Structures are given as structure tokens and as C-alpha cells.
Amino acid sequence: MANKNPFIVITGASAGIGAACAEAFSRQNSRLILGARRTQTLEQQKAKLLELGAHSVDCISLDVSQDQSSNNFCEEVLQLTQGNIDALINNAGLAIGTDHLSKGDLSEWQTVIDTNITGVLRVTRGLLPAMIESKSGHLFFLSSIAAHQVYEGGSVYCATKHAVKALAKTLKLELNGTGIRVTTIDPGMVETEFSVVRFRGNQSKADQTYAGMTPLTAKDIAECVQFAYQRPQHLNIDEMILMPTDQATVYKVHRR
């Protein structure tokens, strides 16, 4: 059975799927610990989350691409929870550009890798020992259909999401017998700030991504995370692949 007021830790919680997860878990009286670079945005969300039913909301500065920021975040989380973490939702992630590999920018690649792979490793490594000691908790990895399929212009992003899938599968082996559950959530097209970041702030290009079709919403994904978390302890959902009805693969999308 889930704890009455679970400690739910969410990275990248200031917008998109992370913010939607915070709202979803607020409704079950969770004690939320939210990490993001935009702490002011987190603080602005706090009143709404408490109104929705959150037991408590702690907002902590977090840049998962930086060692010191990640270390500080994990130390504060451990102090707040006394090591009793019910769920860690590794949500922070991004893509930059759609260049073919031969024309890619090395510095942008490094940012994507530091966030999507090393960032996940930093936070998971910082909090996992406490979860192992308590023999409880649920690890979530917010990944992508790009963990299963590849497409032109997505080489590095797809590689990072394939890596996250491998990390999760390895953790399933390493954590067997600890009681810790491990779930990857792999959605297709979700309309969030993701495409704005990918197109380096070009809102028009981001809007074109979803033109003529109905994408998933951040709320859709958050509800699936919550569903997996709420299953009885003996049941683990290894992975969930979530696609808009209009999207058959990463490259085949029905547009009206």
C-alpha cells in the first residue's frame, strides 16, 4: 500500500510533464519535493499545489547537468525525507536542434547528454542508496518513444533515450529483491515546451510540430505515472509506451 502522505521527488518540475506530475500527486496529499532551474516558477506554483491537496511543497534549485547542483539537491532531499523516498520521478530532459549528425554542434550534444543521461545518473545515484536502505520506493524515468525508435535529425537525442532504457533495465536487475520498483514512461508527441527548446526558442516551428494532429498532453503522461505508482506493491509496470492516436511511429503522423 502507498503511504498516506508519500514523499514524491520530481526533477524538471517547473513546466510540462514535471509540473503536471506535481499537480497529479498533489491530489493524493503528497509531500512534494520539486527541483528545477527556474525556482521562481516553482515557488509561483506552490500555492496552487497546496490548494489542490499537497501535504507540503518544497522547492529546490536543481540543474541536473551540474555536479554541485545535483549533489546539493540530493542532500536537501535526504534531509527533508530522512531517506524515506516514495517515488523519484526523473523528468528533467531536453533535445536541441534537428541537425543530421554530420552537421551537429558538439556543445549542444554535450548539453543533451549531460542532462538526459548524466543528469539522470547524478540524481539517481544521489538518492538510490537511501531507497535501498529503506527497501522501498519507485523509480520513474520519463523517457520517449525515441528509446525504441530512431529518426533522422534525432541521433543524439535518440541515443540518450536508448541509454535511459538500458539504465532502467540494468536497475531492474541490480534492485531485484530490494522492493524498489522501476518504471520507464515512453511517450510519443506531447505538446509542452519540449519543441520550443528543440527549435531554440522558435515558437512558430514548435507549433508546426503539432499542426493538424492531436498530441498528448502533459496531464495525460502524469496520469499514467500516477497509475503506475498506485498499483499494489507486488505489481511493477516495467514500461509504458504512450502514443497519440494520430501517431503511428516517430515519423508517421496523421494530419488533418
Distance, in Å, from the CA atom of 92 to the CA atom of 78, rounded to the nearest integer, reads: 19
The active-site residue out of 157, 210, 229, 251 is 157
Any idea which residue has 525515441 for its cell? Answer: 146
Cα distance from N-terminal residue to C-terminal residue, the chain: 45
Distance, in Å, from the CA atom of 147 to the CA atom of 99, rounded to the nearest integer, reads: 19
Q: Is 251 a catalytic residue?
A: no
Nearest alpha-carbon partner for 246 in 199, 194, 211, 219: 211
> Residue 24, SS3?
helix
Distance, in Å, from the CA atom of 95 to the CA atom of 244, rounded to the nearest integer, reads: 20
All cell numbers assigned to 254? 496523421
Beta strands of the chain (E only): which ranges? 7-11, 31-36, 56-61, 87-90, 138-142, 181-187, 239-242
Residue 49's CB is within 10 A of a number of other CB atoms, namely: 23
Beta strands of 62-178 (E only): which ranges? 87-90, 138-142
Distance, in Å, from the CA atom of 125 to the CA atom of 233, rounded to the nearest integer, reads: 23
Distance, in Å, from the CA atom of 142 to the CA atom of 217, rounded to the nearest integer, reads: 14
Residues assigned a catalytic role: 157
